[in-house]
Amino acid sequence: MKRLKNLLAAIVWAGAATCSANDFVPLDRAAATAIADPASHARPTIVALWSSECVHCKKNLKLFAEMAKVHPRLQLITVAVEPADEGLAAPLDRAGVTGKRFAYADESPEALAYALDAKWRGELPRTLLFDGRGAREAVSGVVAEAAVLRALGLQK
């Protein structure tokens, strides 16, 4: 079963790697489950759940982009909790966010949210923090850099 999960994660990451910076990979339940699995992250990883209309999400995204520049091992993955459309990349580009970009696909938004985080009730921003060694922490709201670094195991 673990091999199957790892294979699924590799397929998801390979598909994301073939997209240009403005493209979003459609997120389905299988991809959401792989993203949320700590075994899928061999290095410190931030999964930022956001929406184009969420002001606080943009604050977190800007912080995460700055952190990714300072910490080259840090992987940043964004998940737009809305379908991809023409202007969806603009907030990420303005904040300097690089990395894999996902957007909700045609499946039920509730099912996708549950696959990402069964304890999540839809509040934004929502951030999943993986230390790359099997630990995962989920946080709602605007985050503090020190708390994120601590959860990722990147304290100075």
Query: Which residues does the chain have with pLDDT short of 70?
Result: 1-22, 156
- pTM of structure: 0.87
**Phi, psi dihedral angles at 55 (to 5 degrees):** -65, -45
| Token digits of residue 55 | 């002001």
What's residue 16's pLDDT?
A: 46
What's residue 6's pLDDT?
A: 45
All domains of the chain in start order, with CATH: 2-152 (3.40.30.10)
